[in-house]
Amino acid sequence: MVKMLCLSILLNTFLIAAESDTYKESDKARVRWAKSLDYIEDNDTRQTVIDHIKADYGLRAYNENYLIVGYREGNYNSYVPSDEYINHEVEMQISLSYDFGSNFFGLDEVYSGAITLRSFWQVFTESSPFRETNYNPEVFVTIPTYTDSWIGLKAVKFSPFAHMSNGQGDITDADFTGSLPSSLPSTIDPNWLTNRSRSWNYMYGTLFFQQGPIFAELTAWYRYPEAVTTDDNPDLIDYIGHGSATIYLPYKKHLFKTMGRYNPETGYGAIEGTWSYPIEGQSTYLYLKVFSGYGESLIDYNNYVTKFSLGFSFSR
């Protein structure tokens, strides 16, 4: 009961904070706060105070920001003896970008940095642990093409460096005073009790296309090599492939998106479909997501998952 109450409060907080009218009114209120302050003679000091009150630092939504509840076939693997994961959980994603430069070469190019945090919260279990959080910082430049050719290429995006990891560590025999426990929960395989760390560094390029109301993205990535002794997941590309294709289909207020990736060398891949529809202004959406394949999360990148999720998104 307490968990459901906390989850309800969290959801309502997201919904209230995401309303367009709330944003507009809060901006007006902060301007009034700044005007009510005692006059500060030094211009730089006064601007510092105003910046702090307005808290407007140019951050933008990057990937979707959402709060959803997901259900999958079968339970998730538990990687620590104290946790026993189940097949339904809350998934949250916060994704923000910041433009730090533009038009250095007269191409209307925009230079940006972004970070995406994606968490899987086993809120319906007794101790409510976070099963996994994936961290994905990146830097990139986006260059418009301004072309009307039949192919419909509208922009090119390139990232020289991106990183993704789950922030977890190793479990060794030392964690169990020299040996593994004699009895483990049924969901625990002793072979899993080794290295929980997952990470990779990569570069990528994306082409953006448009044909009427239909938009598409083609992305290819290259994983930077790592030493065999330090690579936590040497076969990651076998499961997530070398790139992805995404199609966006807006229809009136609906937005449908389909993403697919596939590695022909191994036969592994994934497909994901989402649907969103505004329910409050232009900043809160009913959000449905279906995923099937490999790479749903880093910790389980090599496990096949089919998952259905429903909740709310706060950007598209």
Taking the domains of the chain in order of start, what are their residue ranges?
1-56, 58-313
| Nearest Cα to Cα of residue 259 among 246, 276, 242, 268 | 246
Long-range contacts of residues 15-22, Cβ cutoff 8 Å, at least 24 apart? 15/280, 15/284, 15/312, 18/280, 18/283, 18/284, 18/312, 18/314, 19/280, 19/281, 19/283, 19/284, 20/280, 20/281, 20/282, 20/283, 21/281
49-59 average pLDDT score: 77
168-175 average pLDDT score: 58
Q: In this model, does residue 217 exceed pLDDT 70?
A: yes
Cβ atoms of residues 309 and 90 within 8 Å? no
Helices 20-36 and 2-18, packing angle to 10 deg: 70
Per DSSP, 176 falls in state G
Q: How many CB atoms lie within 10 A of CB 155?
A: 19
Per-residue model confidence (pLDDT) at position 121: 95
Give the whole-number percent of the chain exceeding pLDDT 70: 82
Q: In this model, does residue 255 exceed pLDDT 80?
A: yes
Report CA 290 to chain centroid distance, whole Å.
Answer: 15
Q: How confident is the model at residue 99 (pLDDT cuts 50, 70, 90)?
A: very high
Structure-block tokens of residue 236: 């990651």
Structure-block tokens of residue 246: 């995404």
d(CA 193, CA 180): 9
76-83 average pLDDT score: 76
| Nearest Cα to Cα of residue 190 among 174, 171, 177 | 171
Per-residue model confidence (pLDDT) at position 173: 47
d(CA 178, CA 190): 14
Burial of 192 (0-12, 13-18, 19+ CB in 10 A): middle
Q: What's the half-sphere exposure (Cβ side, CA atoms, 13 Å) at 178?
A: 0
Structure-block tokens of residue 113: 């940095």
- Mean pLDDT is lowest, of 167-171, 179-183, 191-195, for 179-183
Structure-block tokens of residue 276: 């969103």
106 torsion bin: left (phi>0), alpha (psi -120 to 50), beta (else): left
73-101 average pLDDT score: 89
d(CA 138, CA 163): 6
Bridge partners, residue 264, by sequence: none
Q: What's the half-sphere exposure (Cβ side, CA atoms, 13 Å) at 132?
A: 23
In one-letter notation, the amino acid at residue 26 is S
Cβ atoms of residues 64 and 287 within 8 Å? yes
Q: What are the angstrom distances between the C-alpha of 80 and each of 173, 198, 294? A: 12, 15, 22
58-313 is a CATH 2.130.10.10 domain:
no
Cβ atoms of residues 99 and 83 within 8 Å? no
